[in-house]
Structure 1
Amino acid sequence: MKKVIITGVGGFIGKSICLRLLRSNVTVIGIDVDDSRVKDLFEFSNFSFKQASFSEYDQLEKIIKDRDVDVLYHFALKGGLLANAINDVDMQLENAKYTVMILKKAIEMSVKKFVFIGTANQFEVQQIAYNEDVIPRNTCIYAASKLASEMMCKVIANQHEIIICSALCAMVYGEGNYSMQLPNVVMKQIIEGAEPRLIDGNSQYDMVYIHNLTKALSLIGEQGENNTSYYIGSHSNDLLTFKELWTEIRNIINPDIKLGFGEFKDSFSMDYSKINCNKLYEELGYRPEYSLQESVNNSVEWIKNNLMEDK
């Protein structure tokens, strides 16, 4: 893997994988709506930036002249992962359209491999789609659009000479994440000495640390097999429940803090036993670089320096 394109290069995951690849001497062409979040990347001689809005994706072959690209990683997501965006049906339909558009442009540009970035919640949608006893939660709008996008992309990719791999990611946490998703919110509360209000948490749950994720994404770009979807999470052989996982994290940060389990109804319903969580291990030889304790300690330090009011 010598040259890649990364859409959404200014985002949390996009920038993190970009940094890993740049440090590995891979040439990276980054795409985003502006360069405000990637100015520090210009110190790398192997980085170039192309500004493009979502509406300009249909001109991508004119914006990027390179025709020797090995991999295109598609992270760009209109609206990001804000709650009002992932619950917006119209916006998620647009994201599906833009994903297919990017793949078609990759084909026109003779890109060798397309890496689709999805969510582990796609498995949840698959499992409950025809289960009358389960009421889908709002997150299923986003996950359903990702599932539809992945399937359409696989159909199109297999009609052309381009390899397609999917990375289906668990909840991501770590340095560079400015969102107020669950990991940041709960870790911040524990640091501050507050009691987090949480779900019952008796079901299995998974998260992935950003630097372990980017290692997995790099491996998928280099070695991922055609038409294959790879789950990326903690890759524990015996996943913990939400309650067990957050109790471990609490013990790392501040064991004296009480966790308010049971404050909210647990609407999460995914059967991990039906997912091959270890495909990365088995097929690509993946091993995480950071333990849970190292991941949490690094995340806490970053949160203290970037998200705390009295930093």
Structure 2
Amino acid sequence: MKILVTGAAGFIGYHLSLRLLGEGHTVVGLDNLNDYYSVDLKKARLAQLLDHAQFTHANINLQDAEPMEALFRKEGFTHVMNLAAQAGVRYSIINPRSYIDSNSVGFLNILEGCRHTKVEHCVFASSSSVYGLNTTMPFSVHHNVDHPISLYAATKKGNELMAHSYAYLYQLPCTGLRFFTVYGPWGRPDMALFLFTKAILEGKPINVFNHGKMRRDFTYIDDIVEGVVRVIKRTAAPNPAWSGATPDPSSSCAPYKIYNIGNNNWVELGAFIETIEKELGMTAVRNYMDMQPGDVPATYADVDDLIADVGFKPNTSIEYGIKQFISWYRDYYKV
């Protein structure tokens, strides 16, 4: 494959690019190295990717149409994996316009590039946040998801709808992946595991929302990457059993599919913190707080479709995953 990975200097994009390069594929990594979180961390990831002869970096903003058009024309990608996005539920309340620019306008430029250059398969990151006010557990791709509770979630749901329209109008194979709370080495500094580890090591209190009763389907980065790679290689196709009379949200008469990628197991936030404490050999000072706007109390992925179609089920334990993250953190920050 010659694959465009957007957000290649990001957490998931970095790990995915390494995996694809290791398999011998050519990767163009698009990343504008914005300062939503540490640019130094992004540059450190990117430096490792640039060690590979078959990797090139494109410093382009997704929302800039002309440079995006030129990139697609020049490179002739066979596959696209769109991971670039303005991330974070809470930041979408502070800076909503950045989500429309990156996640909506930027994704339109991706779809247009794929359409005009006949990309074989467009895969894109959605999010477990699209389940919004849904309370039926585990969350299934066959459930309706029309009640997001943050603009971030709304833009991710919007990406799914945009992709379906292009799949239908232009027969562009599109697959959306709803990721569930990804964590692991080289992770994002705005995520709970990073924030908790840093604060505990520095002897500072941690903010524990919903008084520790939040439940999350924590998914280790290697499981995410394995699922993504398998899905990229399985080009979306029309579902012959799909019916407009009883429409299945996860598939279509067009070449379109949605999958969850999660650990298929929720962990309560309190237990997650205890695992971090045990690995660090330190006790956290906990500042218990109410739920934040835009947050959901629980996530839990049904991955039956992923298992059935690509033969993979994420199963990394939080004990192993947290151990790997803390080992990386201590080494990277010389703690």
TM-score normalised by the chain length of structure 2: 0.76
Deviations 1:272-311 (A, max 9, x none): 57x524432232111447432221111002222334xx63
Q: Structure 2 CA distance, aligned partners of 1:218 and 1:269? A: 28
Per the alignment, do residues 251 and 198 of structure 1 end up closer, same or farther by CA in structure 2, a change over 3 Å counting?
same
Any unmatched runs of 5+ in structure 2? 34-41, 136-143, 237-254
Q: 3-state DSSP class of the match of 2:50?
A: helix
Residues 1:66 and 2:75 aligned together: yes
Corresponding residue for 2:14? 15
- Number of aligned residue pairs: give it: 295
Asked if the contact 2:196/2:206 (under 8 Å) is kept, the reply is yes
Instruction: Tell whether 2:100 aligns with 1:93.
Output: yes
Secondary structure, in 3 states, of the residue corresponding to 1:54? coil
CA contact 1:118–1:167 (8 Å) conserved in 2:
yes
1:305 to 2:331 alignment: yes
Task: Tell me the alpha carbon deviations over residues 247-289 of structure 1, each in whole angstroms, 9 at most, x when there is no partner.
Answer: 34433433x625637x11135435657x524432232111447
Aligned position for 1:29: 28
**1:145: Cα distance to partner?**
1.4
Cα distance in structure 2, aligned partners of 1:56 and 1:285: 38
Shift of 1:82: 8.7
Residue 165 of structure 1 deviates from its aligned partner by 0.6
Partner amino acid for 1:264?
M
Percent identity over the alignment?
18
8 A Cα contact 2:89 2:151, kept in partner: no
Superposed CA RMSD in Å reads 3.0
3-state SS of paired residue (1:111): coil
Which residue is 1:205 aligned to? 216
CA distance in 1 between partners of 2:109 and 2:133 (Å): 24
CA distance in 2, matches of 1:47, 1:107: 24
Distance 1:220 1:284 in 2: 7
1:223 aligned counterpart, secondary structure:
coil
Deviations 1:92-129 (A, max 9, x none): 12221211221111111110111111211111256698
Taking the aligned partners of 2:233 and 2:120, their CA distance within structure 1 comes to 11
Provide the rounded CA distance (Å) in 1 between the counterparts of 2:188 and 2:177. Answer: 22
Contact 1:123 1:270 in 2 (8 A): no
Offset, 1:168: 1.1
Out of 289, 292, 306, which is 1:280 matched to? 306
Cα deviation 1:126-160 (Å, max 9, x = unaligned): 669888xxx94xxx121111111221221122211
TM-score by structure 1 length? 0.82
1:182 to 1:62, Cα distance in 2 relative to 1, 3 A: same
Q: 1:81, CA displacement in angstroms?
A: 4.0
State the AA in 2 paired with 1:300.
I
Partner of 1:54: 62
| Residues 7 and 29, structure 2, Cα contact 8 Å, conserved in 1 | yes
Mapped to 2, the partners of 1:43 and 1:162 lie a distance apart of 33
Change (3 A) 1:49 1:196: closer
Q: Within 1, Cα distance between the matches of 2:58 and 2:271?
A: 44
Deviates more, 1:188-197 or 1:148-157: 188-197
- Give 1:66's aligned amino acid: E
1:227 and 2:256 correspond: yes
Aligned match of 1:121:
129
Identify which range, 194-203 or 146-155, moves more after superposition: 194-203
Summarize the alignment of residues 129-278 of structure 1 with structure 2, pairs less than 5 Å apart: 136=149, 140-192=150-202, 194-199=204-209, 200-223=211-234, 225=236, 226-236=255-265, 239-254=266-281, 257=283, 260=286, 263-267=288-292, 268-269=295-296, 272=299, 276-278=302-304
Per-residue deviation at 1:11? 1.6
Choose the corresponding residue for 2:112, options 104, 128, 148. 104
2:212 aligned counterpart, secondary structure:
coil
Residue aligned with 1:229, SS: strand
